[in-house]
Amino acid sequence: MSLTSLSISALQEKLRAREASPVEALDALESRIAAVDPSIHGYLSRDYAAARALAEKADVNLPLGGVPIAIKDVINVIGEPCTCASKILLGYKSTYDATVISRLRAAGAIPFGRCNMDEFAMGSSTENSAFGRSCNPWDLARVPGGSSGGSAAVVAADEAYASLGSDTGGSIRQPAALCGIVGLKPTYGRVSRYGLVAFASSLDQIGPFTKTVRDAGLLLNAIAGRDPQDSTSLDVPTEDATALLGRDLKGVKLGMPKEYFISGIDPQVDASIRAAIAKYESLGAEIVEVSLPHTEHAVSVYYVIATAEASANLARFDGVRYGHRAATDNLLEMYGRSRAEGFGPEVKRRIILGTYVLSSGYYDAYYLRAQKVRTLIRDDFTKAFEKVDAIICPTTPEPAFLAGDRTDDPLKMYLADIFTIACNLAGTCGLSLPCGFANESGKQLPIGLQLIGQPWKEARLLQIAHAYEQATDWHKARPAL
C-alpha cells in the first residue's frame, strides 16, 4: 500500500515510528501525482523544491509534523502562485503567508501544491477554472463539485493526504460529498481569512478536506483561533476539536429538517440518507423532526448577498497594483478592458448581478431585503438548535453530474447548492462525510451526508460524524484509478 493512501493520523504514526520520513511522504506524493494527476487535473502548480526543503528539517513530533497539505489556489503561500484559477492573476506571486498557512507551518505541516477551483471560488463544478476543469476520481466524465473541486479530488485520488479549501455557499461540503471524502466548514469567525482572496466576506470560511473525521479535527485544531489580522475572527476559546471523538451518541439529538426531504432528490441519495439516519438511531441517537421554514429562500438570498459582496471585493482587480493590465494609454479603458480580458464568464456574470443589486434604486429591494430574509434563515437554525445537537440531511440533492451538463444554465447550477447554502447564511459549522454510493451507468458515485452543528460546537459535530464513520465502511472505499 502506498503512503499516499494514508490518512494524516496513519501517516503520522509511520513518521513518528521512523518507518517513513517526511521526504518519503513527499516523494510518494510526487509519484502518485505523476501517475494520476494527468487524468484528474486537481493541481494547478506544485513546488517540490520548496516542500522538500521543509520536509528535510521537519519535526515529526509537532501536531502535523512533516505532513504535506495541499492548498486551494485562493490562499496565499509566500513565493507561490495564487491565481484563483483566473487569467487575471496569471503570473502573480504571493508576497506573504495567509494566517492559516503560518499556523500550518507552526504545527509542522508542509503547504504543498496549489489546487484547481472555480475561478474566484464561483461555481459548483470546477468547470469555471480558466485553466481547465478537474475530473471526479470516481468517474472522470463527471465534475468533482466546486468551488474547491481540486482540493477534494486530490484527496479522494490519494494524491494528497489532506487539503484546505474555502466554503462560501458549500464549496467545501459539496465537493467533499461528490468525491466521497470528509469536508468541514467551520463556524464563521473560527478561522482567520487573512490571506484568503475574498469572495463574499460575510460568508467565506476556510476549512479542511480529509480522509477521516479525526483528520478534519487535527487540521481544524491547527488553523483555528482569533487573528488580529481578521477582525471577524472571534476570541472564542479554542477547544480541542478531537476531544469528544469516540464518545457514544446516548442523549444526542439529531434534527431532520422536513424542508430538506423534498421531491426532486435523487432516489439513491434519498435512500442512502435515510439509511444513515436509521444507522444513527441504532447507534443511540434520537431523531427529531425539525423545521427550517425559510429554506426555500436560501438560494435567492445567497445569490444576492454573495454577488453583491463579490462585486465589491473584485473591484480591486483593476490592472493597477497586480494582475493583468490591458495595453492602453487611457485609464478608464485600462480598468474596463483589464477586467474584461482577465475575468471569465461566471465571474463577469456575478459582478454584473452584484453591481445591479447594490445599485441606486435596487439596494432596498434586493440587497437589504435579502439581508432581512437572511435574519429569518438564521433564526430558523437558532430555533432548531434549541431542540437538537445537529441537523442531519443530504449534502447535495444528486451525486456528481456530468461535465458540461449545467454550464449554460446558471440557475440550474446555483440550485446544486440548495442544501449547503443556509449553513453559511446562518454562520454555523457543517460537514459532509461519505454515506453510500449511487450507481450511475455502471459507475459508483459517492453520496455525502451533511451534518450541520451548533455555532462553535465543532467538537460535538465531529463526535457525531465520527460515530457514524466508525460504524460504517464508506470512508474506506477508494476510486479505481
Partner 1 sequence: MSDPFNVRYVAQLARLDLSDAEIEKFQSQLGQVLAHVEQLGRVDVSKVEPTAHANAVANVFRKDESRPGFTQDAALSNAPRSANGLIVVPKVIE
Closest approach of Cβ 324 to partner 1, in Å?
8
Closest approach of Cβ 411 to partner 1, in Å?
5
Closest approach of Cβ 269 to partner 1, in Å?
23
62/349 Cα distance (integer angstroms) = 45
Measured from the CB atom, the residue of 103 and 339 that comes closer to partner 1 is: 339
Find the part of the chain contacting partner 1 (CB under 8 A) among 89-97, 98-106, 109-117, 152-160.
Answer: 89-97
47/102 Cα distance (integer angstroms) = 17
> Do the Cβ atoms of 332 and 317 come closer than 8 Å?
no
Provide the angle, in degrees to the nearest 10, between the axes of the packed helices 99-106 and 213-223: 110
Measured from the CB atom, the residue of 153 and 353 that comes closer to partner 1 is: 353
Active site residue 171: yes
- Between residue 193 and residue 252, which ones bind partner 1 under the rule CB under 8 A? 201-203, 228, 231-232, 234
Find the part of the chain contacting partner 1 (CB under 8 A) among 91-99, 162-170, 238-246, 438-446.
Answer: 91-99
> Do the Cβ atoms of 152 and 209 come closer than 8 Å?
yes
- Give the contacts of 388 (CB within 8 A, at least 6 positions apart): 253, 254, 255, 288, 290
Q: Which string of DSSP letters, residue by residue, matches 198-253?
A: PS-TTT-EEEEEESSHHHHHHHHHHHBS-BTTBTTS-------TTTTTT---TT-E
Among 34, 296, 382, 404, binds partner 1 (CB under 8 A): 296
Measured from the CB atom, the residue of 170 and 446 that comes closer to partner 1 is: 170
Among 428, 432, 450, 454, binds partner 1 (CB under 8 A): 428
Find the part of the chain contacting partner 1 (CB under 8 A) among 45-53, 145-153, 272-280, 365-373.
Answer: 365-373
187/255 Cα distance (integer angstroms) = 19
Closest approach of Cβ 298 to partner 1, in Å?
11
Closest approach of Cβ 134 to partner 1, in Å?
24
With cell 477534494, the residue in question is 152
| 289 C-beta neighbours (distance < 10 Å), count | 11
Q: Which of 125, 129, 171, 338 is catalytic?
A: 171
Closest approach of Cβ 173 to partner 1, in Å?
16
Q: Which of 86, 102, 147, 148 is catalytic?
A: 147
For partner 1, what does the binding mask look like between residues 430 and 469, x meaning CB under 8 A? -------------------------x--------------
- Between residue 319 and residue 358, which ones bind partner 1 under the rule CB under 8 A? 319-325, 328-337, 339-340, 343, 345, 348-349, 351-353, 355-356
Q: Is 478 helix (H, G, I), strand (E, B) or coil?
A: coil
Among 304, 392, 418, 421, binds partner 1 (CB under 8 A): 304
Measured from the CB atom, the residue of 34 and 376 that comes closer to partner 1 is: 376
Burial of 472 (0-12, 13-18, 19+ CB in 10 A): middle
Active site residue 94: no
For partner 1, what does the binding mask look like between residues 372 and 411, x meaning CB under 8 A? xxxxx-x-------------------------------xx
What strand order describes the sheet that includes 163-167?
Answer: 43-45, 110-115, 68-72, 163-167, 205-210, 182-185, 429-440, 443-453, 390-394, 253-257, 286-290
Grid cell, residue 83, equals 491565481
Grid cell, residue 170, equals 458549500
CA of residue 165 relative to chain centroid, distance: 4
Name the nearest CA neighbour of 298 among 193, 221, 241, 377: 377
Closest approach of Cβ 44 to partner 1, in Å?
17
With cell 470512508, the residue in question is 475
Q: Which string of DSSP letters, residue by residue, matches 386-416?
A: TT-SEEEEESSSSSPPBTTSSTT-HHHHHGG
Active site residue 147: yes
Among 28, 44, 370, 431, binds partner 1 (CB under 8 A): 370
- Between residue 179 and residue 198, which ones bind partner 1 under the rule CB under 8 A? 188-189
Give, as one character, the DSSP assignment of residue 351: H
Measured from the CB atom, the residue of 359 and 439 that comes closer to partner 1 is: 359
Find the part of the chain contacting partner 1 (CB under 8 A) among 2-10, 237-245, 279-287, 370-378.
Answer: 370-378
Q: Does 87 bind partner 1 (CB under 8 A)?
A: no
- Between residue 95 and residue 154, which ones bind partner 1 under the rule CB under 8 A? 95-96
Q: Which of 7, 72, 125, 432 is catalytic?
A: 72
Q: Is 25 helix (H, G, I), strand (E, B) or coil?
A: helix
183/431 Cα distance (integer angstroms) = 5
Grid cell, residue 178, equals 461528490
Closest approach of Cβ 198 to partner 1, in Å?
12
- Give the contacts of 460 (CB within 8 A, at least 6 positions apart): 244, 389, 390, 453, 454
Among 300, 407, 444, 472, binds partner 1 (CB under 8 A): 300
Measured from the CB atom, the residue of 61 and 95 that comes closer to partner 1 is: 95
Closest approach of Cβ 475 to partner 1, in Å?
30
Q: Which residues are catalytic?
A: 72, 147, 171
